[in-house]
Structure formats: C-alpha cells, structure tokens
C-alpha cells in the first residue's frame, strides 16, 4: 500500500492510498477517513460505494461526511468504482460502462473478466488490506452508496448479511436486470444469460431468498433517472413481499447529485452509528 496524500480534518485524517489489486489486475485507489478516536482504539468501519462516472474522490470532496464521522467515531472507506489503467479494456464513449462503471460485479465475459472484478475487490481483497493497515473493528461494518453504488451496497449486504450490521443507499439502481440504464452493462460484463444477472440485482436476490434485516433508502422526487434507471417502488414491493424492513424516503424536489447526498448524509451516518455503536 502506498500513501498518496493525507490531510487533517475535524481532528482526524483523510487519506488517499493506492494498492496493487490482484483480483482487478491493476493499481486501485481508495480513500480512508480516520476520526480522532482511531488514535486510541479500533472503530466501526463504514464502506461508501460511489456511482457511475465517479472515483473515490467524489464523496470525499462533496459528501460532507467527515465532521459527523469524527463525532461518531466511524472510519469511512471509499473505494474506486472500477479498475483503472491503460491496459484495462474500456468503451470511452459510454459513460454507463467500462472505467467508472464497474457495477460492483465480477465480470465473466472477455475481455472484461480479467479486470472488472469489483465485487471480489470490495468484498474480499480490500477489506483484508483495510483490516491489516488501519485501526478498524471488522466485527462492526456498515455499507452504503449512491446510485450504482447504492445498488452495490444493497446487493453486497444481501449476499453477506453476517458481515454487515447496517446498509443504506442514496437513489440506488434497485432492479438493474430490467433497467435501461444497466442492462447493456450487465450483458457485456455477465453475458446474455439473464439468470446470471440475478446475483447482482437487489430485487432478484430478494426474490431468490436473500435477506437483510432493514434498509434506509433516500430518493429524490426530481431525480431525472427515477422512473427507468432507479425504480425504487420495485425495491419497495420486493421488500414488502419478503418481510424486509425498508424505510424509503421520497425527498421532494431533490435530484441525483451530491447536493442531494450531502443533505441527507448526516441521517445515514447516524443510522449506521446506531446499529454499529458500542
């Protein structure tokens, strides 16, 4: 692991780091905020997964999480959204696919299968590095994210309910197997057999028996991607059928940007802190 930068913030440290990823076969960048309490003890860790076109830096620069994370004593880890580098296959003209759009899946289709293994990176490889290098209590983990990252957070929580004590999302892609926003990417990453897509689709995972105790989801009513891309009502229906507690808050007049996310970031941090606290 190499340190790219560190900055003092709210008594803690905001760091950016790079590591050689074996699963993604490239260098990967990630950010970690250590609150001041990390100097004395291991703390709960909260994973934030970003959306399409983003890197680790978007939430770090616009998410406004550090003040409250410092108050609550929570480590916040922000991975990148895809593999990077000149050798990584990409479609530069398509912002919904390739670099910046890993969808938190393990691709099975060439040429993407060699690098686009973001599920394994976020679930297996990066947590081992974080546990080894930072003062985190891995028995207290939460996960949240935005848009594509909200999709990633919910699907990862559903598939790993014993690991995560909390999960929330901002405007998640709730049903990517049917969304016009994500179907082309799923086909390129996972192939034409749509049954394989179900392993990375929140609604399908719930239909197939995966469970998580509760979710908090905030969604802006003025989000231009609401109807086709995000489909929160389909997540509501799936959760209701399965008996999963979903607090879906439709936030009047809010869009899809970090103006929306930063407005409700405090609510999400407190949600996770109540479930991960001492």
- Alpha carbon separation from 159 to 3, 241, 260 (Å, rounded): 31, 18, 28
- Give the per-residue SS3 of the chain: CEEEEEEEECCEEEEEEEEEECCCCEEEEEEEEECHHHHCCCEEEEEEECCCCCCCHHHHHHCCCHHHHHHHCCEEEEECCCCCCCCCCCCCCCCCCECCECCCCECCCCCHHHCCEHHHHHHHHHHHHHHHHCCEEEEEEEEEEECHHHHHHHHHHHHCCCCEEEEEEECCCCCCCCCCCCHHHHHHHHCCCHHHHHHHCHHHHHHCCCCCCEEEEEEECCCCCHHHHHCHHHHHHHHHHHCCEEEEEEECCCCCCHHHHHHHHHHHHHHHHHHHCC
Active site residue 245: no
Active site residue 256: yes
The single residue of 56, 256, 268, 272 carrying the catalytic annotation is: 256
Instruction: Supply 8's token pair.
Output: 């003092």
The single residue of 21, 50, 147, 182 carrying the catalytic annotation is: 147
Q: Which residues are catalytic?
A: 147, 223, 256
């Amino acid at each position: 692991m190499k340190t790219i930068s560190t900055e003092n913030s709210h008594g803690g440290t905001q760091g950016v780091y790079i590591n050689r990823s074996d699963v993604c076969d490239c260098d990967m960048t990630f950010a970690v905020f250590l609150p001041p309490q990390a100097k004395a003890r291991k703390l709960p860790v909260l994973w934030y997964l970003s959306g399409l076109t983003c890197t680790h830096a978007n939430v770090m620069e616009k998410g406004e999480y550090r003040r409250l994370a410092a108050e609550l004593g929570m480590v916040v880890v922000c991975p990148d959204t895809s593999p990077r580098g000149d050798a990584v296959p990409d479609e530069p003209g398509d912002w919904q696919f390739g670099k910046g759009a890993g969808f938190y899946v393990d691709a099975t289709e060439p040429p993407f299968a060699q690098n686009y293994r973001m599920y394994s990176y976020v679930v297996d490889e990066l947590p081992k590095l974080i546990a080894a290098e930072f003062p985190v209590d891995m028995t207290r983990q939460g996960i949240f994210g935005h848009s594509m990252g909200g999709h990633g957070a919910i699907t990862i929580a559903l598939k790993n309910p014993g690991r995560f004590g909390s999960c929330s999302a901002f405007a998640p892609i709730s049903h990517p197997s049917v969304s016009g926003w994500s179907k082309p990417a799923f086909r390129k990453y996972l192939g034409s057999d749509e049954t394989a897509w179900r392993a990375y689709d929140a609604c399908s995972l719930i239909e197939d028996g995966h469970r998580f105790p509760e979710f908090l989801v905030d969604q802006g009513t003025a989000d231009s991607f609401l109807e086709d891309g995000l489909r929160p009502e389909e997540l509501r229906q799936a959760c209701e059928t399965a008996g999963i507690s979903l607090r879906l808050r439709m936030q009047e007049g809010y869009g899809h940007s970090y103006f929306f996310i930063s407005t409700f970031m405090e609510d999400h941090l407190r949600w996770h802190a109540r479930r991960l606290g001492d």
